[in-house]
Amino acid sequence: MAIQGFLVVSLLFSCLAATSYGLTFSSLQESLIVTASPKHGQVLSAGEDNIVVTWSFNKSLAAGTDSSYKTVKFKLCYAPVSQQDRAWRKTEDHLNKDKTCQHNIVTKPYSSSNNTFTWTVERDVPTATYFIRAYAYNSADHEVAYGQTTDAHKTTNLFNVQAISGRHVSLDIASICFSAFSVVSLFGFFFLEKRKAKMSQAK
Amino acid sequence: MWPSRLHKKLYVTPQSTISPFKLIAQAAECGQADCTRSQSVLRIWKSLKLANIQRLSNMEVSYGAPPESVQKKFALPVDSEHKATEFRLFSVAAPHMRAFHLSWVSFFACFVSTFAAPPLLPIIRDDLDLTATDIGNAGIAAVSGAAFARVAMGTACDLFGPRLASSALTLITAPAVYCTAIANSPASFILVRFFTGFSLATFVSTQFWMSSLFSSKVVGTANGVAGGWGNLGGGATQLIMPLVFDLIHNIGATKFTAWRIAFFIPALFQTLSAYGIFFLGQDLPDGNYSQLHKSGDKHKDNFSQVFYHAITNYRGWILALTYGYCFGVELTIDNIIAQYFYDRFNVNLHTAGIIAASFGLANLFSRPAGGILSDIMAKRYGMRGRLWTLWIVQTLGGIFCIFLGKVGSLGVSIAVMIIFSVFVQAACGLTFGIVPFVSRRSLGIVSGMTGGGGNVGAVLTQVIFFRGSRYSTETGITLMGIMIICCSLVIMSIYFPQWGGMFCGPSSKVTTEEDYYMSEWNSAEKERGIHMASMKFSENSRSERGRRVESAPTPINGTPSTYV
């Protein structure tokens, strides 16, 4: 009982701690410029097509702003149209509750200019509309800045991904065969039952 | 008990040539109404009607306990109807215990299939591009089919026997589970969940089968354990499916293929259980329906009469409503709880599955415990005790449901969920402690109505609270708890003239159990003697008076007054 009580209290504390610490998205500075190769409305196939991402520090901001940036993490984020009626993709200001960006692309060490990489859209990316966001982390692994391929209202430069369906011909055939087998067995049951009844009547 | 020489006189062996008229005369000589005797008299009467003396001499007619040769045929001790008087959990002896194990395993398989999708929804919703509305609709579809199917199943059991009815239903819904693997859109997903959900009607065949094979002393236990262990499937599937998915994913399939392959497991399980029932099961201790119908040993009741007496009994409707707020709530939680923990507390798929499973796994003991508690309260307080216990337990379930929606931390949420599950499932067991007494003639249809009401409750709750994005899941859970409390209040309106209700004692007019159950038969039917099973049941149900002084006399030949 005492241990249960202790567990409950420590869980409550950790939850409180997490929420009270949490960084918010609105506190981050948009200091990175990120561009991606897909045009607005382009459809990419998961597992096949590539995205070329170019990123750099926004030179118009004061020099020294980026002194704390150590690594940059790129994520694939859902556009508002793909978040509608899907609470599991909701945007929240608290970064540790935010579910907008659920697919990691790559993590790169920070450098202020001439950065580019190519990424093949992975096979487990679902069908939806996306944009790309980069978070800059400091040495304590906390977000300090960000940059994204779309504007603040998330209306421009959105591209689509068409996912793999996961279906295979062999699966289709197996499903249909087993289903047919079940139905045929059912008729077999009825036939057997009628025969048993007739036999017992004849006795 | 009978003196042995009288017993020997009355027992007819195949070689005997005692005239049936002499038998009846001897039966009439013997004093008080003993239902075993009256059942045997009924059998003689039926045979005479068929004017087939040869069949009579081949039939065993016994008074009191069946003779040694009959007893030896069965592994368990049986009564005069050959129903088992003991419930031995670890035996698989045919036909009683074997049928018990076959029926709970196949009901378990149907539950596993019906709720196989919810634990994998975080993967499926991405693959099929589902919205919250689609997911809600699929959850509703999964439980709505059985709302009607359960009522139809009661009739099917009556006509074809539980063995054929349940194996046929299990087999015909298996293709829906196989085809879940090839679903490719929200519409197809909703369709496969809809057709898979029909399999939940096997609840009725389970209860019907147990009631045919076990005597009234142990039928409560048999029904409660079979029902509870079947419902276990709703919890076990939350563990099984993520595990199977993980296994297949680790072997090398992508996530979007792995979940599809995973569905073959519940589908195969369902198919195999249907085969098991068909080849290893038996409808009645003496044989299967098709054989017994042809040989004339089983009487077929008039469907329209049975149906009329079921739908005009208001108690059946009330229990259908309240069952919607214990079992219906259980079904709803089975549908939403894994996603709730995954999304609200950010646990991974595996962990969400384990937590969700513990809700359904409580059925291992909580539903049987509800049935046993009902019997214990009835011993002391009779039917009034059963009613009060049901209301208290179900209301407490509602209160813990309100807490569940309010609690914001993972550990406390799990604890509250488990307490909530125990109360809600015990309420299910308690409900079926009352259902057998609502009607004797129409027991099948009343059970089907109550069972169907459970599914209707699940549909209603999901439509109002868990569809689309109007309420967050936690708000929906709290509101559901409030609805449980409100709908449980109708239990207060159940009143049995011979036993009373929650707030009133038995009727001041002299009303007996016979009056209540005999009013389901008209005088023409009574003349044919087909009401005898109800007579026997009325006598046995006198135990529902509890421990108070038995003041109401038993009419021997009175014309019963109609009730309510």
- Among B496, B526, B558, identify where a domain stops: B496
Based on the fold, state whether residues B22 and B160 are members of the same structural domain: no
Query: Mean pLDDT score of chain A, rounded to an integer?
Result: 87
> Interhelix angle for B186-197 vs B132-160, to 10°?
30
DSSP string, B263-328: THHHHHHHHHHHHHHHHH--SBTTB-HHHHHHHT-SPPP-HHHHHHHHHT-HHHHHHHHHHHTTHH
In what order do the strands lie in the sheet containing A50-57? A32-36, A50-57, A115-120
Report yes or no: A147 and A33 within 8 Å, Cβ to Cβ: yes
Q: Which chain A residues touch B342 with a CB distance below 8 Å?
A: 88
**What secondary structure letter does DSSP report for B61?**
B
**Cβ separation B126–A163 shorter than 8 A:** yes
Within 8 A by CB and 6+ apart from B541, the residues are B437, B513, B517
pLDDT value of residue A21: 56
Asked whether residue B512 is assigned to any structural domain, the reply reads no
Give the domain-ending residue among B470, B496, B522. Answer: B496
Of B363, B180, B353, B206, give the one whose Cα is nearest residue B265: B180
CB contact under 8 A, B254 and A164: yes
Domain annotation covers residue B455: yes
Q: What is the CATH number of the domain that holds B390?
A: 1.20.1250.20
Both tokens of B402, joined, read 């309100």
Distance CA B418, CA B326 (A): 14
Range of the domain at B28: 1-35+59-73
Query: What is the reported pLDDT for A9?
Result: 54
Does B132 reside within a domain?
yes
In this complex, the residue of A84, A175, A181 whose CB is nearest that of residue B179 is: A175
Tell me, yes or no, whether B382 and B440 share the same domain.
yes
Residue B65 sits in the same domain as residue B113: no
Cβ atoms B107, B206 nearer than 8 A: yes
Interchain proximity A168–B257, CB inside 8 Å: yes
Name the CA dihedral angle for A100, A103, A109, A113, rounded to a multiple of 10 degrees: -70
Question: Do both B26 and B102 map to the same domain?
Answer: no
> Which chain A residues contact residue B410 at CB under 8 A?
11, 15
Give residue A39's Cα distance to chain centre: 20
Both B172 and B309 in one domain: the answer is yes
- Are B122 and A194 in contact (CB < 8 Å)? no
Q: What is the number of alpha carbons within 13 Å of residue A54 lying toward its C-beta?
A: 6
Chain B residue numbers touching A87 (CB-CB < 8 A):
132, 343, 469, 472-473
Contact B254 A165 (CB under 8 A): no
| B541 within a domain of the structure (yes/no) | no
In this predicted structure, the answer to whether residue A149 has a pLDDT above a threshold of 90 is: yes
User: What is the C-alpha separation between B173 and B257, in angstroms, rounded?
Assistant: 22
Q: What is the pLDDT of residue A8?
A: 57
B492 burial type by CB count under 10 A (0-12 exposed, 13-18 middle, 19+ buried): middle
Mean pLDDT, residues A6-25 taken together: 58
Q: Within this chain, do residues B291 and B440 fall inside the same structural domain, yes or no?
A: yes
The two structure tokens encoding residue B65:
């306990």
B106 with B255, same domain: the answer is yes
Flag whether B123 is in a domain. yes
Chain A residues inside the 8 Å CB shell of B175: 178-180, 182-183
Joined tokens for residue B488 = 């449980």
Q: Are residues B163 and B208 in the same domain?
A: yes
pLDDT for res B400 = 96
Residues B47, B62: Cα–Cα separation, whole Å: 15
Give the tens place of pLDDT for each residue, A23-62.
Answer: 899 999 899 999 999 999 999 999 999 999 999 898 888 8
Contacts of B257 in chain A (CB under 8 A): 166-168, 171
Q: What angle do CA B481, B487, B491 make, to 5 degrees?
A: 130
Same domain, B142 and B186: yes
Give B158→chain A minimum CA distance, Å.
16
| CA–CA separation, B442 and B436 (whole Å) | 10
- E strands along B136-280, which residues? none
Question: What residues are paired with A29 via a beta bridge?
Answer: A145
- Identify which of B386, B467, B163 has the alpha carbon closest to the alpha carbon of residue B292: B163
Q: State phi, psi for B497 to the nearest 5 degrees.
A: -60, -30
Is B310 in the same domain as B249?
Answer: yes
Question: A16 with A132: CB under 8 angstroms?
Answer: no
Of the candidates A12, A168, A175, which has its C-beta nearest B409's C-beta?
A12
- Nearest neighbour of A186 by CB, restricted to B168, B291, B293: B168
Kindly state whether A200 is in contact with chain B, defined as any CB-CB distance less than 8 angstroms: yes
Nearest CB to B182 within list A11, A175, A190 = A175
pLDDT of residue B77: 84
Distances (CA, A) of A200 to A195, B295, B331, B475: 9, 8, 43, 60
Q: Classify residue B520: in a domain, yes or no.
A: no
Of B478, B496, B514, the residue that ends a domain is: B496
Query: Which of A82, A86, A91 should be substituted to probe chain B, the one whose Cβ sees the most B Cβ atoms within 10 Å?
Result: A86
The pLDDT value recorded for residue B34 is 43
For chain A, the three-class secondary structure string (H helix, E strand, C coil) is: CHHHHHHHHHHHHHHHHHHHHCCEHHHCEECEEEEECCCCCCEEECCCCEEEEEEEECCCCCCCHHHHCCEEEEEEEECHHHHCCCHHHCCCCECCCCCCEEEEEEEEECCCCCEEEEEECCCCCCCEEEEEEEEEECCCCCEEEEEECCCCCCCCCCEEEECCCCCCHHHHHHHHHHHHHHHHHHHHHHHHHHHHHHHHHHC
A173 touches chain B (CB under 8 A): no
Asked if the C-beta of A166 comes within 8 angstroms of chain B's C-beta atoms, the answer is: yes
> For the complex shown, is ipTM > 0.85?
no
Q: What is the pLDDT of residue B23?
A: 45
User: Do residue B127 and residue A185 have CB atoms under 8 angstroms apart?
Assistant: no
- pLDDT tens, residue by residue, B229-252: 999 998 899 889 999 999 999 998
Tokens 């090839």 identify what position? B182
Binary contact (A87, B472; C-beta < 8 A)? yes
What's the average model confidence in pLDDT over A93-121? 90
Residues of B in contact with A79 (CB under 8 A): none
Whether residue B164 and residue A167 make contact (CB cut-off 8 A), yes or no, is no
Please give the pLDDT value at position B293.
65
A-chain CB neighbours of B408 within 8 Å are 15
Do both B144 and B208 map to the same domain? yes
Are the beta carbons of B497 and B515 closer than 8 angstroms? yes
Low-confidence ranges of chain B (pLDDT < 70): 1-72, 216-217, 292-300, 548-564
The pLDDT assigned to A1 comes to: 59
Interchain pair B178, A182: CB under 8 A = yes
Among the ranges given (A3-7, A96-100, B18-22, B526-530), the one the predictor scored with the smallest mean pLDDT: B18-22
More confident residue, A106 or B55: A106
B18/B137 same-domain check: no
Question: Which pLDDT score is estimated for B201?
Answer: 93
Q: What is the largest CA-CA distance in chain A?
A: 102
Residue B182 lies in a domain: yes
pTM: predicted TM-score of the whole model, two decimal places: 0.79
**What local confidence, expressed as pLDDT, does residue A77 receive?**
94
In a domain, B547, yes or no: no
For position B39, what pLDDT does the model report?
56
**pLDDT exceeds cutoff 50 at A168:** yes
Q: What are phi and psi of B539, to 5 degrees?
A: -65, -45
Domains of chain B: total? 2
Q: Is A12 on the interface with B (CB under 8 A)?
A: yes
Neighbours of A68 (CB within 10 A): 15
